[in-house]
């Protein structure tokens, strides 16, 4: 395409956004290169969604093996070997990394397995010293775990290290109250670790509906997870035997085997040379972009977590796809619609949501109608598991249009993916009422709410 530059597109970062953008741009006919300093696949594949979900599956067996007795199964003595699960998960991650690399190779995308930095508006310098030029540059460098400002913070692990532990901690404190803290609290707790979740504020999972958050807190406590709210870490000191002494506000010093930070993620822009190309960043270090993911510099774009819009894999992928179609697709520019993005927390049990919470809907619409279904799933009843699910539907009080659905239930994310289509399409409560239930399911509650 371009004679002046080595490549039409140079992508920095082979994660969810960068891989999609590079592959599709190449399919549109562009000459593409991509640089990755760690492993092809990025956070989601290597140390995020994928291995996390596999651990969630592994952890859930603890409950299934307990519950199966009431269904007539006697399975004798059982034990759990962390290293078997860990190594199988890491092997599968390697397989997926290979599949991502193959896709790029099949599209003739040149892969540089090294760090890249901008050294001019159209120039990139690789860690090896090689200098290349590109007509367009895409920054898709993602984000990394934030460390809190407490003495000894370097002694704690983050989600990056959690997948590689040599052994499970008997006692772990997890700082944070968001996605990662709640997901890993559930995982470690199911594996038999003593878990304390420590939150600086008084609210877990702030962006989710209050009723659903409260239900997760109540169930998590029943399962044995401890919570501390309005608490901050002061010091983490290593002990001679490998554990740590942790001092938190308003508490005595405690001895634990592991400290894990899950207090948010910061955009990866350090040493990237953004100043060499004159790229503007926001207060949190996020690269500022317009609705087509274009930075303030005409030929430089950014997608995914580094822009800190919605830090989710499917969003990064959509942004990457839209970038490729806009710049190399030869059609009208494509903007990603960031409204009504469904999401899930893979806690035990999981939470899933789409649209507005009750509070947001009241502020935005004034008049809202709320429907609730608070039930004990059939499987839990027979298992003797005293764990209730909650579905909540928020509708515009005037039109009946559904503006939000919130769930905490086994398989809630699976149900939510389908329900989210209806909410995105602007369907009403009457449309749900007109749909016949599938019985017996949990999902039927969606069309039976009163």
Ligand X SMILES: Cc1cc2nc3c(=O)[nH]c(=O)nc-3n(C[C@H](O)[C@H](O)[C@H](O)COP(=O)(O)OP(=O)(O)OC[C@H]3O[C@@H](n4cnc5c(N)ncnc54)[C@H](O)[C@@H]3O)c2cc1C
Ligand Y SMILES: NC(=O)c1ccc[n+]([C@@H]2O[C@H](COP(=O)([O-])OP(=O)(O)OC[C@H]3O[C@@H](n4cnc5c(N)ncnc54)[C@H](O)[C@@H]3O)[C@@H](O)[C@H]2O)c1
> Which residues define the annotated binding site for NAD(+)?
176-183, 264, 305
Interface with ligand X, residue 347, by CB under 6 A: no
Q: Among residues 12, 173, 216, 361, which is the contact residue for ligand X, using CB under 6 A?
A: 12
Q: If we measure between CA atoms, which residue out of 104, 233, 241 comes closest to residue 169? A: 241
Candidates 24-32, 283-291, 313-321, 364-372; binding stretch for ligand X (CB under 6 A): 313-321
Interface with ligand Y, residue 232, by CB under 6 A: yes
264-283 residues in contact with ligand X (CB under 6 A) are 268, 272
* 288-317 footprint of ligand Y as x/- string (CB under 6 A): -----------------------xx-----
Find the shortest distance in angstroms from Cβ 266 to ligand X.
Answer: 12
Q: Among residues 177, 342, 355, 377, which is the contact residue for ligand Y, using CB under 6 A?
A: 177
Interface with ligand X, residue 140, by CB under 6 A: yes
Structure tokens at 39: 């492993």
Find the shortest distance in angstroms from Cβ 438 to ligand X.
Answer: 26
With CB cut-offs between 5 and 8 Å by kind, which of ligand X, ligand Y, none does residue 200 bind?
A: ligand Y
Query: Within 13 A of 132's CA, how many CA atoms are on the CB side?
Result: 26
With CB cut-offs between 5 and 8 Å by kind, which of ligand Y, ligand X, none does residue 419 bind?
A: none
The 8 Å CB, 24+ separation contacts for 74-83 are 80/191, 80/192, 82/165, 82/167, 82/168, 82/191, 83/167
Interface with ligand X, residue 342, by CB under 6 A: no
Q: Among residues 152, 243, 285, 314, which is the contact residue for ligand X, using CB under 6 A?
A: 314
Q: Among residues 42, 156, 176, 377, which is the contact residue for ligand Y, using CB under 6 A?
A: 176
68-107 residues in contact with ligand Y (CB under 6 A) are none
Catalytic pick among 38, 60, 122, 439: 439
Find the shortest distance in angstroms from Cβ 214 to ligand X.
Answer: 22
d(CA 70, CA 77): 16
- Whether 439 is a known active-site residue: answer yes
d(CA 127, CA 377): 55
Size of the site for ligand X (CB under 6 A): 36
Q: Among residues 201, 238, 359, 426, which is the contact residue for ligand Y, using CB under 6 A?
A: 201
Q: Which is nearer to ligand Y, 180 or 408 (CB)?
A: 180
Q: Which residue is nearest to ligand Y (CB)?
A: 178
Residue pair 357/319 in contact by the 8 Å Cβ criterion: no
Find the shortest distance in angstroms from Cβ 308 to ligand X.
Answer: 10
Find the shortest distance in angstroms from Cβ 47 to ligand X.
Answer: 6
Structure tokens at 255: 């001895």
Q: Among residues 122, 265, 318, 348, which is the contact residue for ligand Y, using CB under 6 A?
A: 265
Find the shortest distance in angstroms from Cβ 179 to ligand Y.
Answer: 4
Residue pair 25/155 in contact by the 8 Å Cβ criterion: no
314-353 residues in contact with ligand Y (CB under 6 A) are 343-346
Q: Among residues 32, 180, 409, 443, which is the contact residue for ligand Y, using CB under 6 A?
A: 180
* 281-300 footprint of ligand X as x/- string (CB under 6 A): --------------------
| Residues that constitute the known binding site | 53, 176-183, 264, 305
16-55 residues in contact with ligand X (CB under 6 A) are 16-18, 35-38, 42-44, 48-49, 52
With CB cut-offs between 5 and 8 Å by kind, which of ligand Y, ligand X, none does residue 148 bind?
A: ligand Y
d(CA 33, CA 6): 9
Q: If we measure between CA atoms, which residue out of 158, 163, 344 comes closest to residue 260? A: 158
Q: Which is nearer to ligand Y, 16 or 373 (CB)?
A: 16
Positions annotated as catalytic residues are 439
User: Contact positions toward ligand Y, by CB under 6 A?
Assistant: 148, 175-181, 183, 198-201, 232, 262-265, 311-312, 343-346
User: Contact positions toward ligand X, by CB under 6 A?
Assistant: 12-18, 35-38, 42-44, 48-49, 52, 115-117, 140-142, 159, 180, 268, 272, 304-306, 311-314, 316, 346
């Amino acid at each position: 395409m371009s004679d002046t530059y080595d490549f039409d597109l140079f992508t920095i970062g082979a994660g969810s956004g960068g891989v999609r953008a590079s592959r599709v741009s190449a399919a549109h006919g562009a000459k593409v290169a991509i640089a990755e300093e760690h492993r092809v696949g990025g956070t989601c594949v290597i140390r995020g969604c994928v291995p996390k979900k596999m651990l969630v599956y592994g952890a859930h067996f603890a409950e299934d093996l307990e519950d199966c007795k009431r269904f007539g199964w006697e399975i004798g003595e059982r034990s759990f070997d962390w290293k078997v699960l860990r190594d199988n998960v890491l092997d599968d991650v390697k397989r997926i990394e290979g599949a991502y690399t193959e896709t790029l190779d099949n599209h003739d995308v040149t892969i540089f397995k090294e760090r890249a930095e901008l050294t001019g508006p159209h120039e990139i310098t690789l860690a090896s010293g090689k200098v290349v030029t590109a007509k367009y540059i895409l920054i898709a460098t993602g984000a990394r775990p934030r460390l809190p400002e407490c003495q000894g913070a370097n002694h704690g692990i983050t989600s990056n290290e959690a997948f590689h532990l040599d052994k499970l901690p008997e006692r772990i404190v997890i700082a944070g109250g968001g996605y990662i803290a709640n997901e890993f609290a559930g995982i470690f707790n199911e594996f038999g670790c003593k878990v304390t979740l420590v939150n600086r504020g008084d609210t877990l999972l702030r962006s989710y509906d209050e009723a659903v958050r409260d239900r997760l807190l109540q169930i998590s406590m029943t399962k044995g997870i401890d919570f501390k709210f309005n608490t901050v870490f002061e010091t983490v000191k290593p002990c001679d035997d490998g554990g740590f002494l942790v001092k938190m506000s308003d508490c005595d010093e405690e001895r634990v085997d592991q400290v894990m930070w899950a207090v948010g993620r910061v955009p990866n822009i350090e040493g990237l040379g953004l100043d060499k190309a004159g790229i503007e960043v926001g207060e949190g270090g996020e690269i500022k972009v317009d609705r087509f993911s274009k930075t303030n510099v005409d030929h430089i774009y950014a997608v995914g977590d580094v822009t800190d819009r919605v830090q989710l894999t499917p969003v990064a992928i959509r942004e990457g796809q839209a970038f490729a179609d806009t710049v190399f697709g030869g059609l009208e520019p494509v903007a990603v619609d960031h409204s009504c993005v469904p999401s899930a927390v893979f806690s035990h049990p999981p939470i899933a949501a789409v649209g507005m919470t009750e509070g947001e809907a009241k502020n935005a619409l004034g008049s809202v109608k709320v429907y609730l279904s608070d039930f004990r799933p059939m499987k839990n009843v027979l298992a003797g598991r005293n764990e209730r699910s909650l579905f909540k539907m928020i509708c515009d009080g005037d039109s009946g249009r559904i503006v939000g659905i919130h769930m905490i239930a086994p398989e809630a994310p699976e149900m939510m993916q389908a329900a989210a289509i209806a909410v995105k399409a602007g369907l009403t409560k009457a449309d749900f009422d007109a749909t016949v239930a599938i019985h017996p399911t949990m999902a039927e509650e969606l069309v039976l709410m009163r």
